Amino acid sequence: MSEIRDKGILRQLDALTSKLRRRQLVGARESALETTLLMKYIVSHAKFNTIHELIAIIKAAGRRLVEAQPKEHTVGNIVRRILRLIREEWAASVKKPVEDDDRAKDDESEANTGQNTPTPLSPKQSVTGVDPYVPLAGADISLKASTSDSQYSLSNFVLHGRPHREAIDFASVYATRANQSAKPTKSAQSIRPALISAIEEVMDELETVLDNVSNTAKDHIHSDEIVLTLGMSRTIEAFLKKAALDRKFTALVAEAAPSLSGHHLARSLASAGINTILIPDSAVYAVMSRVNKVILGAHAILANGGVYATAGSILAAHAAQTHQTPVVFCAGQFKLSPLWNVYHTYGSLDFANPSHVLGFQEGQLMDQVDVLNPAYDYVPPELINVFITNE
C-alpha cells in the first residue's frame, strides 16, 4: 500500500476490511454506507499535492475493500462513484479559470494589435481554413467553443460536416488544447470542501433510498391485488408499507428457508395492518396462479440486467414466468453494477452456513454428503419485467 501512508487512514481501512471479511456488515446498504464514510474520511484527512495522488489513494483503498469481500458489489460501486465525483469536481474547478485566462489573453492581444484577426494557424491546427473565432455556418458556436467541450462527440462531427480526415485533424487539435487546459490553475487541496459536500450528498441518498424507492408504490400495487415476495428485504418492507397507505391488498411472504427471514417480514407487515400470509417455499408454485405480481428485493443488479437476489428467487421467477405473472425488482441505484455474472448460470454468489440445512449432530451423514446452502440466486434478465429504483 505505497499510495496510503497516513496511519489514521490505514487504521480506518483495516477496521472496515476486517468487518467485511468477518461478515460483520450484513446487507448491501450497510456496506455502502460504511464505504462512503471511509471515503469521506480519506478525502478529509489524506495528504496530496495533485488530484492524481488523491485518485491513487482512493483506488488503493478500493482495491483492498473489494479484495476483502469481492462478493459485495456495492463496495466497488461506491468507490467508482466517488472517483467519478472527484474527477467531475476537479474538471469543474479548473475549467472556468482556464477559460477566463485564455479569454483575457485574447482580449489583451486584440487591444494591442487593434484588429480582430488572429494569427493564421497551420494546416494541422486550422481544420476548416476559416477563422477559428468566427461562428461556423448554421451553428451558434465557434470552433474555439466546440473544442472546449468535455469530449469530441459524434454530434459535433455531424454538425460541422467534416470528412473523416479532417475529423481526425480536429480531434488532434482538441487533444492538444485539452492538454493545455488541463494545467491546474489552483491547488488540488482547494476542492477538498466540494468533495466532502459531494460525498455527503451520496450519504444522504443512501439514507433516504428506501423512501425514494417506495414513493411510486401506489402506482404499481392496486387495490385487492395479491402480491408475492420472498425473504426479508428492507426495500420491499418499505415499498409494501408505503403502498398500504393508499391501497388494500394481500401479501404472500415465502419464508426463505433455511434462514426463515420471511418470518420477520411477515411479522412486520402484519403489524402495519397489511393482510399477510406466510407460506413455505414449496407452496410458491401452487399459489402463483392467484398472484398478480411478484415483488422481490435485489442484492446486486449486473450489467446484463441479471440480478443476485435471496435464495429461492429463481424458483419464484420461473413459476411467475409459467403463469405469465410480472416479476418486479426493487433496488436503489447504488446496487447497479458494471460487472457481469462470472459464475455458473444458476450458481450462487455466496454460500451460508451449511449447518442450517443439515446439523452437525448428524455426524455419520455429514461424512457422506456435501451440503451447500446458497445465500443468493442469479435471476437472468429474461425472467424480469420491471426494475424500480430511486430517482
Grid cell for residue 222 = 392496486
Whether the pLDDT of residue 151 is over 80: the answer is: no
Residues 168 and 160: their CA atoms lie apart, in Å, by 13
In single-letter form, the type of residue at position 356 comes to: H
CA 75 vs CA 72, 89, 106, 203: distances in Å? 6, 21, 47, 13
Alpha-carbon gap, residue 351 to 23, rounded angstroms: 12
Q: Which three cell numbers stand for residue 109?
A: 492581444
Find, among 297, 232, 308, 306, the residue nearest to 73 by Cα. Answer: 308
pLDDT at 153 over 90: no
| Of residues 4, 109, 100, the one with CA closest to residue 54 | 4
pLDDT at position 391, please? 73
Rounded Cα gap, residues 264 and 276, in angstroms: 12
Q: Which residues of 92-130 are buried (b: 16+ CB within 10 A; e: fewer)?
A: ebbeeebeeeeeeeeeeeeeeeeeeeeeeeeeeeebbee
Q: Give the DSSP letter of residue 42.
A: H
The per-residue pLDDT for range 55-87, each reduced to its tens digit, is 999 999 999 999 998 888 999 999 999 999 999
Residue 334 is given by DSSP the state: G
Q: Give per-residue pLDDT as tens, 304-332.
A: 999 999 989 999 999 999 999 999 999 99
Would the pLDDT of 159 be above 80? no
Average pLDDT, the chain: 79
Instruction: Please state the φ and ψ torsions of residue 343, each to the nearest 5 degrees.
Output: -95, -175
Query: What percent of the chain is predicted at pLDDT more than 70?
Result: 73
Q: Where does residue 358 rank: exposed (0-12), middle (13-18), buried (19+ CB within 10 A)?
A: middle
Q: What is the mean pLDDT of residues 184-203?
A: 83
Residues 327-368 have pLDDT tens digits of: 999 999 999 999 887 665 555 667 877 777 777 766 677 677
Give residue-wise pLDDT tens across range 230-269: 999 999 999 999 999 999 999 999 999 888 899 999 999 9
CA–CA separation, 246 and 241 (whole Å): 10
Is it the case that residue 97 has pLDDT exceeding 70? no
What cell does 383 get? 425472467
The single-letter code of the amino acid at 365 is L
- Residue in 30, 57, 33, 62 with CA at minimum distance from that of residue 45: 57
